[in-house]
Structure 1
């Protein structure tokens, strides 16, 4: 029998969401409730004529679009097949056996898988009230800490800390510790939390900022993520990235989506309106829902048993939320925000459980 190397053989596969069957409406993957920009769709379709060619490994139009919208240096932008590729490459480049990768209680679970791939130790700092705590991250530092990952806004919590807290964290970290700020949901709070301060941190040489087109831009199927990197770190990462990682059509669609800020902002506004109404409806049923700054909400029940009952009631109506047992939140379900009528159906199912 052909055997893998021991540390891979002992790993568990990354846990994906249960998507049900063809009759199921999934609220489990934090996908957009609304279609991508028509301009993005048209650009992607037009680019299909170039499919005989390999995609440009420098992503010129995509980098230019991101740089124009965010006022960034295009040379410091790297693009990946989703932010997952960038996360994996960062950990491979800067951590290894005996090193520590530090996340938080409810940080992005893929980071743990990526750390296991290089035999680094993944450790979680405590969150307070389901919210990242800068002080607890600092208290969890050890001499072996090489990388710190902070999700802001958080997933699966939806909570947010001020940009000034991220800067305070960076100021108090050792110079040889890489800080990675995962902002997959930042478009849902950019209007209240100007990202300029966070992007500026990348110019210090010790911080990476990551974003994605999968959420607010509605391009999860295109698999496009991006990050703002210090030049030295970008150079190291290029050694590990697949040089043809984003298809021609996906690059074209993402560039057009980035330039259609009006569409994205309209999606964010509509999503937030439905989200806040659904959250209030849940609270009226006696359920606990933290204020969310994303396109999902975390619903906390009185017990794990009640959460299981809610899951069963939702499934009976062909609705599927994400169970949070893997995050140590067995009394919670995470609900991606869908259209208003679907969220109303969810409330009806939950009403029967909360009585």
Structure 2
């Protein structure tokens, strides 16, 4: 039987979430607690009539809508089947054997998988109090470093560093190092920080900013991500993108969703209110909950045994949070914010476990 190439055989498969059974309520995937914009759903239904056709490979209406909404240059936007496609193509374009891709302690795990695919070394800079430390990132840079990935807000931590720290990082990195700022949850932080400050870094030619429609816009099932790329960087990444990668209904839904900013902001506000209430009540039970600027919270228990006990008790009630052992946080569970009733059920279980 034919074997895969050596480096693929040595790779671990990307760890997929445990979704439980059909009766399970999943709090493991960071999906939106609320439906997408009604305008997005309506646009998707209309677009189904075009299914005999291939989707437009240039995403013209979607790019225009994103550019209009976020005040960026449409020609610098690339769209992907989720931001995962963009991340994978970016790493394949700019890293290879002997190169280093630098992330942080609790950065997005897929970056490690994408680095392994091209035989680049993935290394992590230390985080401080589960928060990105620019000083530690800069200390970890070596002559072999080609790409630096920073998640802000962080996943699975939910923590946030100021835009000024991202700017400081960019200014201190060597010019030949590409900085990628993964902002999958940025809409939850835009109320506190001006996104234009980070988008402006792209004009320097050595920074990429990634966003997605999977979280605040409630379109995880549509698989649409986007990134702002310097022209020279985007031209190389575009060579590796799958042509016709974003389906016709997905493009239509994402376009309508980004133009309905009122709905997105309402979703963010309602999610944040439930999140903060849950986090405060959870802290009152004893666990540590990091300040979150996302649609999830990271719950840290007294020890690994208590975390496992909580996981088992939640599952017994048909509730599934995400274990964090793969991130070296076996004493933690990550909880996606759902509606009030589900979060209250979780609190009831956690009270029994921690009392």
TM over 0.5: yes
2: distance between equivalents of 1:257 and 1:318? 31
Task: Return the offset for 1:330.
Answer: 0.4
> Aligned with 1:335: secondary structure?
strand
* Residue 284 (structure 1) aligns with: 284
> Aligned with 1:218: secondary structure?
coil
* Residue 157 (structure 2) aligns with: 157
Correspondences of 1:115-194 after superposition (within 5 Å):
115-194=115-194
2: distance between equivalents of 1:71 and 1:99? 34
2: distance between equivalents of 1:170 and 1:189? 20
User: What RMSD in Å do the two structures reach over aligned CA positions?
Assistant: 0.4
Are residue 342 (structure 1) and residue 342 (structure 2) matched?
Answer: yes
* Residue 308 (structure 2) aligns with: 308
Deviation track 1:180-223 (CA, whole Å, cap 9, x = no partner) reads 00000000010111111100000000000000000000000000
> Aligned with 1:298: secondary structure?
strand
* Residue 66 (structure 2) aligns with: 66
Count the aligned residue pairs.
355
> Aligned with 2:13: secondary structure?
coil
* Residue 16 (structure 1) aligns with: 16
Runs of 4+ in 1 over 2 A off after TM superposition: none
Task: Return the offset for 1:243.
Answer: 1.3
Unaligned runs of 5+ in 1: none
1: distance between equivalents of 2:335 and 2:16? 15
Deviation track 1:94-148 (CA, whole Å, cap 9, x = no partner) reads 0000000000000000000000000000000000000000000000010000000
* Residue 43 (structure 1) aligns with: 43
* Residue 198 (structure 1) aligns with: 198
> Aligned with 1:311: secondary structure?
helix
1: distance between equivalents of 2:194 and 2:16? 32
Task: Return the offset for 1:24.
Answer: 0.2
Deviation track 1:199-253 (CA, whole Å, cap 9, x = no partner) reads 0000000000000000000000000000000000011111000111000000000
Unaligned runs of 5+ in 2: none
> Aligned with 1:234: secondary structure?
helix
Deviation track 1:284-328 (CA, whole Å, cap 9, x = no partner) reads 101100110000000000000000000011001000000000000
> Aligned with 1:209: secondary structure?
strand
2: distance between equivalents of 1:80 and 1:301? 37
* Residue 34 (structure 1) aligns with: 34
Are residue 328 (structure 1) and residue 328 (structure 2) matched?
Answer: yes
> Aligned with 1:57: secondary structure?
coil
Give the TM-score normalised by structure 2: 1.00
* Residue 100 (structure 1) aligns with: 100
Task: Return the offset for 1:60.
Answer: 0.4
